[in-house]
A and B are shown apart, each in its own frame.
Chain A
Amino acid sequence: MSHTIALTVNGERYRLDVAAHHTLLQVLREQLVLTGTKNGCEAGECGACAVLITWPGAERAEPVNSCMVLAPEADGAEIVTIEGLIHDDQLDPLQQAFLATGATQCGFCTPGIVVNARALLDRNPDPTETEIREALVGNLCRCTGYIRIIEAVKMAARVGREVVG
């Protein structure tokens, strides 16, 4: 069954015909060809498909695994994917920190982690190491051992505070 939904992705508005049994992940990757959002398990466990969603009426964007959202459920939502974190060709401080600390290896988990970490810093600009680790518990990485990722989030938080302060 097909549904017509309206959604905003990275600031662009779309009207799309989507299949009820497709997930938001499929809509993003297959219909909008925003392939930065990765498919790692389709079970909500690995976090590779995390995107930021502002639901209709909600005040704040929240990270959600896009494999856990049926396409028609996304009607009216505002979505930011990894592609939407670059502004005017400028990398997000998190993206810069991931490069600087060597927090990416194969890179497949990276978009989901950067997106989820962005949400963490938006709601908590000065997280403790424990808070960073707990916020990222749903993002699996098999290459890095997480240590550099945690360092990168700390670094980006520092940069963010300097900018604000």
Chain B
Amino acid sequence: MSREQGAGIRNQESVDGGRPSAAARRPSLIGASPQRIEGREKVTGAATYVDDMQFGPNLLHGALKRSPVAHALIKRIDVSRAKALPGVRVIITGEDFPGYTGLYLSDRRIFALDRVRFVGEPVAAVAADTPEIAAHALELIDVAYEPQPCVFDPEFGASPEAPLLHPELGDYACQPFILPQAGTNISNWFKVRKGDMAQGWAEADLVYEHKYRVPHIQHVPMETHVCVAQQDVNARITLWSSSQSPFAQRNLIAKALHISHSKLRVITPHVGGGFGSKAGVSIEGAAVGLAMHAKGRPVKLRMTREEEFYTTFVRQGLVAHIKMGMTRDGRITAVQNRFYWDGGAYTEYGVNITRAAGYSGTGPYFVPNIHVDSYCVYTNHPIGGAMRGFGMPEIHWGIEQHIDQMAHQLGLDPMQVRLTNCLKDGQETLTGMVMHPTGLSQCIQKAADAIGWGKPSAPSGAHKRRGKGLAAMWKAPAMPPNPGSSATLRMNEDGTATVSIGGVDIGQGALTAMAQLAAEGLGVKIADVRVNTVDTDFSPYEWQTVASRLTWSMGNAVLQAAENARRQILQTVAEAWHEHIDDLDIIDGQVVSYTTEESRPLRDIVIYGMQRPDGTWIGGPVVGQGHFMPEYVTPLDPETGQGPRAVVHFTTGCQAVEVEVDDETGEVQVLKIVSAYDVGRAINPDMVRTQMEGGAVQGMSTALLEGIIFDSTGVPRNPNFTDYRIATAVDAPLETENIIVEVPQDDGPFGARGVGEHPMVPTAPAIANAVYHAVGVRVDCMPITSEKVWAALAGEPAV
């Protein structure tokens, strides 16, 4: 995008004919840390989430009939007994909505039609007067299944022996950069071929190969998926949805149900956490389907915690084979990785995780010779979707342990090995993209310093042993090449501004960051900016709240909208006052002239305009608009993965941890986590730090505790908080330190790039490396349970 549009880095020195710019003259709101603008609602319980909205006694309660088996043909669905139950108003099945849908690959229906592919797959939906009646009705729906052989392991699934789960794969529509392998279970195969592998191995003094595993993880937003749908007399449908993707939901559901986008309205109030699980579409299509038959009554569909665990989205499992060559002085000569993703029953979203893993498949290192295969494999597990990190925590689990292990084998300092190999400005990434300026080396150095790298600390008692570990990371926003953002800023009669955006604050602080950008761009106080939650009838378009892209992409749009409004205002004033626009500024809601020192509050300008000396009027209601879309991402060669620009940018960083391990029980206590990330420019440094801290603890929780456990028939055995434990206040590290590194992003607002996902990417391998340092055992299969550490220490067989 062009600099005139105003969303590039703003020159702090001088832009306007030698005169100090507005940004230089007034105290900047960028880099300040105002409290979150919706904080008061949240701490008082007044913030409205979907389940808090009131729809009156007419509300119907929806429920989904789910498959109890992992893979079967549906022979018959009999809903007659359920239909006869008093209080049941609507029952729908796959026959009502046979079309395919999906974000990157259309391989999925709202309800299973002829075949179920995972335990929990919806086969029918009911809407009834009470939740109890709906639950009872589900029991009265009779489904006959003919069991089919299952695939529960992605490596087996990718083999020719595996039963075919999607014989129709070759017919599915998909984005051009997704490469399904018809006739197999591989729904995307991303390849990188670069350099000369034989030469890479020959140059290495050590070649080491190992296999790492990551289980399925659940996002665990504290608010489960919930939505309400209602159809009006004009067949317009409103969907109130706890969603990261109101616009993507509108788009996908409208297409799947063959209705006009203008006839579907999605409203998203506050969202109780997402972490990727509320990206795309999961239960919302079913709610809309029910509403279309509910004769105008609203229908609510709310997931129980048990349903949330395995029926919406999960993070995909991964089996990673990593082979690396290194010289004795610690230079990486070659990498050959094979990633087998357990994509689950449908990979409409997961295919792009596989792609992201492929184009990031070396980790943040310069490697001359590369061979990466990233396979998205259908299995009879729950549907893999986006989760914070989008494939990066999974691949870094192996890569970052692998480097550590090789450094130890060569007698080198793992931190120095990372500094030696980490990507520097101008080096080529594995896909041939030139690395933009990055603070990765700084992050590694600062994290190591803050943890006291190389300095032992004394354990707290007998049988306790301490260790330190670190891991580096990179991650690009993973998305189509051209996802757009837009924003409007409307001035109000009193000189305050209302900003409308299509991105969602799911807790990360987007509303506040946007308020800062708008206030800065316009020249008002943050308190005078209101930022709306999303209503697709009134909010401008936003692709999705994913990929850590809002601060950067939506931030550009908001800043541009604010500057656009500012210019409109100043043009009006310049004409009314007969001044040059460059001599005018807006400071704290007042237009000021640097020549006459005259000032006028915005409230006297922005709606009714200004009166010229001759008594006529100029101006009128001010509405600023802005949009942003990256225009420079290039396609990659499908055979080599090479191309000039694979992604918009990479956010890089490093975490260092100290742990204490009980060498009898295997318990791991995380003492401290240091996070250091290059965020380009921190719009709100305190919120950046809370992202780092929260992400680190989420990463720690997955590292030590989490994983969905399936029985041999694919039934999840721990879909509840009793058996799927997440970290509590007692498990959280005793100390955290969060370090902001700022190497500006050339097209970010004030140089900012995103950091929402990154803080949980390197946490798990950093902890694994620290455990290794403490007790000399390496856990290659997440999570690092006490039992696994004990077993490794005791020489017991792996568990």
Q: Would A and B touch once assembled, by the CB under 8 A criterion?
A: yes
A interface residues, Cβ below 8 angstroms from B: 21, 29, 33-43, 45-46, 48, 81-83, 85-86, 91, 95, 98-100, 102, 104-111, 114, 132-134, 136-150
Within 8 A of A (CB), among B478-521: 506-509
Q: In the complex, how many angstroms separate the beta carbon of A24 from the nearest chain B beta carbon? A: 16
A105's nearest neighbour on chain B, judged by CB, is: B507
B153 at the interface (CB under 8 A from A): no
Alpha-carbon separation in the docked complex, A132 to B722 (Å):
22
B48 at the interface (CB under 8 A from A): yes
Q: In the complex, how many angstroms separate the beta carbon of B106 from the nearest chain A beta carbon? A: 31
Q: In the complex, how many angstroms separate the beta carbon of B207 from the nearest chain A beta carbon? A: 38
Alpha-carbon separation in the docked complex, A24 to B273 (Å):
24
Contact A140 B272 (CB under 8 A): no
B689's nearest neighbour on chain A, judged by CB, is: A102
Contact B40 A99 (CB under 8 A): yes
Contact A145 B222 (CB under 8 A): no
Most interface-central of A36, A106, A141 (chain B CB within 10 A): A106
B270 at the interface (CB under 8 A from A): yes
Contact A106 B45 (CB under 8 A): no
Give the interface segment out of B423-431, B549-557, B725-733: B725-733
B46 at the interface (CB under 8 A from A): yes
- Majority-rule SS of B interface residues: loop
Contact B732 A102 (CB under 8 A): no
Chain A to chain B: the 5 pairs with minimum beta-carbon distance, closest first: A36-B45, A145-B697, A108-B272, A106-B507, A107-B42
Contact B43 A99 (CB under 8 A): yes
Q: In the complex, how many angstroms separate the beta carbon of A50 from the nearest chain B beta carbon? A: 11
Q: Which one of A38, A99, A114, A137 lies within 8 Å of B272 (CB-CB)?
A: A38
Contact A99 B730 (CB under 8 A): no
Contact A132 B729 (CB under 8 A): yes
Q: Given the complex, which residues of A lie within 8 Å of B698, measured CB to CB?
A: 142, 145
Give the interface segment out of B49-57, B157-165, B196-204: B49-57
Contact with A along B714-740 (1 / 0, CB 8 A): 000000111000111110110010000
Q: Given the complex, which residues of A lie within 8 Å of B44, measured CB to CB?
A: 36, 82-83, 85-86, 91, 95
Alpha-carbon separation in the docked complex, A148 to B73 (Å):
50
Contact A82 B732 (CB under 8 A): no
Contact A102 B506 (CB under 8 A): no
Q: Given the complex, which residues of B lie within 8 Å of A81, measured CB to CB?
A: 45
Contacts A35-B52, A106-B506, A107-B507 given; does A146 touch B223 at CB 8 Å: no
Contact B305 A42 (CB under 8 A): yes
For this complex, 14 residue pairs linking A to B, each with C-beta atoms less than 8 Å apart, are: A35-B52, A36-B44, A41-B305, A82-B45, A91-B44, A102-B36, A108-B273, A142-B219, A142-B275, A142-B694, A144-B694, A145-B696, A145-B732, A147-B733
Contacts A43-B305, A114-B43 given; does A109 touch B697 at CB 8 Å: no
B724's nearest neighbour on chain A, judged by CB, is: A45
Contacts A45-B720, A95-B43, A98-B43 given; does A140 touch B728 at CB 8 Å: yes
Contact B686 A102 (CB under 8 A): yes
Q: In the complex, how many angstroms separate the beta carbon of A139 from the nearest chain B beta carbon? A: 7
B interface residues, Cβ below 8 angstroms from A: 35-36, 38-49, 51-52, 54, 132, 219-224, 270-275, 304-305, 506-509, 686-687, 690, 693-698, 720-722, 726-730, 732-733, 736
Q: In the complex, how many angstroms separate the beta carbon of B697 from the nearest chain A beta carbon? A: 3
Q: In the complex, how many angstroms separate the beta carbon of B338 from the nearest chain A beta carbon? A: 32
A94's nearest neighbour on chain B, judged by CB, is: B43
Q: Given the complex, which residues of A lie within 8 Å of B733, measured CB to CB?
A: 147
Q: Given the complex, which residues of A lie within 8 Å of B49, measured CB to CB?
A: 35, 38, 108
Q: Given the complex, which residues of A lie within 8 Å of B274, measured CB to CB?
A: 106
Contacts A46-B222, A144-B693 given; does A41 touch B275 at CB 8 Å: no
Q: In the complex, how many angstroms separate the beta carbon of A68 from the nearest chain B beta carbon? A: 13
Q: Given the complex, which residues of A lie within 8 Å of B509, measured CB to CB?
A: 105
B699's nearest neighbour on chain A, judged by CB, is: A145
Q: Which one of B35, B52, B222, B304 lies within 8 Å of A42 (CB-CB)?
A: B304
Contact A146 B732 (CB under 8 A): yes
Q: In the complex, how many angstroms separate the beta carbon of B387 from the nearest chain A beta carbon? A: 12
Q: In the complex, how many angstroms separate the beta carbon of B133 from the nearest chain A beta carbon? A: 13
Q: In the complex, how many angstroms separate the beta carbon of A66 from the nearest chain B beta carbon? A: 13
Contact B507 A45 (CB under 8 A): no
Q: In the complex, how many angstroms separate the beta carbon of A77 from the nearest chain B beta carbon? A: 19
Alpha-carbon separation in the docked complex, A36 to B45 (Å):
4
Q: In the complex, how many angstroms separate the beta carbon of A119 from the nearest chain B beta carbon? A: 15
Contact A35 B132 (CB under 8 A): no
Q: In the complex, how many angstroms separate the beta carbon of A20 from the nearest chain B beta carbon? A: 12
A108's nearest neighbour on chain B, judged by CB, is: B272
B760's nearest neighbour on chain A, judged by CB, is: A145
B51's nearest neighbour on chain A, judged by CB, is: A39
Contact A146 B273 (CB under 8 A): no
Alpha-carbon separation in the docked complex, A86 to B132 (Å):
35
Q: Given the complex, which residues of A lie within 8 Å of B45, measured CB to CB?
A: 34-37, 81-83, 110-111
Contact A142 B221 (CB under 8 A): yes
Beyond known contacts A99-B39, A106-B506, A144-B694: 12 more, CB 8 A cutoff: A36-B46, A38-B222, A43-B721, A46-B305, A83-B45, A91-B43, A99-B35, A102-B686, A106-B274, A111-B45, A140-B220, A143-B273
Alpha-carbon separation in the docked complex, A150 to B728 (Å):
12
Alpha-carbon separation in the docked complex, A109 to B45 (Å):
10
